């Protein structure tokens, strides 16, 4: 059997429950996991075909293994894949695509920082997403350099400006959250008091 790498639990997105670590599972547990994934594929097909009773069975499976829901829908990664496709010409440059995915993973870890809070993780994701948007529109603007002015060039420049403002806004929000520091919650006489630490 192929070696399975350890799950990088600290880099899981907010709301993504940690899947079981395959390196700590017995052969029987690995087999059960494979069966759950196959069952997920079968049930999603049955739901899409409108089969009666398939949706309750899918819900039951997702209740048993909540991490599987991320196999069905991860909109942040779907959007990221679209942007990567734009930057790598739809997969025409697989080496560039692989390098970019690794760069993004490193940036994501660096921007999130050590032991990030869920809010810091969300904002770090936003910083990376907006950074990619800036790169896409920057490359479109660069492709217009040296050409006569067109409405399309103006369109790309306006989108670049907007993407840049969103990127700066995401950076500012992350910096503000970090400046506040960790929040502390104290219960006094059945009342919650939140303070910044």
Per-residue pLDDT tens for 86-124?
A: 888 877 889 999 999 999 999 999 999 888 898 999 999
Domain shared by 130 and 165, yes or no: yes
Give residue 32's domain range: 9-72
- Over residues 74-85, the pLDDT tens digits come to 788 888 888 898
Residue 195 φ then ψ, to 5°? -130, 155
Domain shared by 109 and 53, yes or no: no
192 lies in some domain: no
pLDDT band at 49 (very low <50, low <70, confident <90, very high): very high
Domain shared by 18 and 85, yes or no: no
Global confidence as pTM: 0.67
Greater confidence (12 vs 62) lies with 62
Domain shared by 99 and 167, yes or no: yes
d(CA 128, CA 176): 17
How many domains is the chain built from? 2
Domain shared by 59 and 88, yes or no: no
Q: Give me 169's structure tokens.
A: 């806004």
């Amino acid at each position: 059997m192929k070696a399975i790498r350890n799950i990088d639990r600290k880099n899981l997105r907010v709301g993504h429950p940690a899947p079981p670590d395959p390196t700590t599972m017995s052969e029987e547990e690995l087999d059960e996991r494979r069966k759950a994934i196959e069952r997920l594929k079968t049930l999603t097909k049955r739901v899409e075909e409108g089969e009666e009773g398939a949706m309750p069975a899918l819900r039951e499976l997702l209740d048993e293994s909540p991490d599987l829901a991320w196999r069905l829908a991860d909109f942040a990664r779907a959007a990221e894949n679209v942007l990567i496709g734009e930057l790598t010409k739809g997969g025409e440059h697989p080496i560039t695509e692989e390098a970019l995915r690794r760069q993004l993973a490193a940036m994501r870890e660096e921007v999130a920082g050590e032991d990030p809070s869920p809010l810091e993780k969300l904002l770090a994701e936003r910083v990376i997403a907006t950074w990619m948007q800036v790169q896409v529109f920057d490359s479109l603007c660069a492709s217009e350099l040296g050409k006569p002015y067109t409405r399309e060039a103006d369109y790309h420049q306006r989108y670049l400006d907007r993407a840049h403002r969103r990127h700066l806004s995401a950076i500012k929000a992350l910096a503000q959250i970090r400046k506040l520091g960790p929040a502390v919650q104290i219960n006094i006489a059945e009342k919650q008091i939140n303070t910044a630490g």
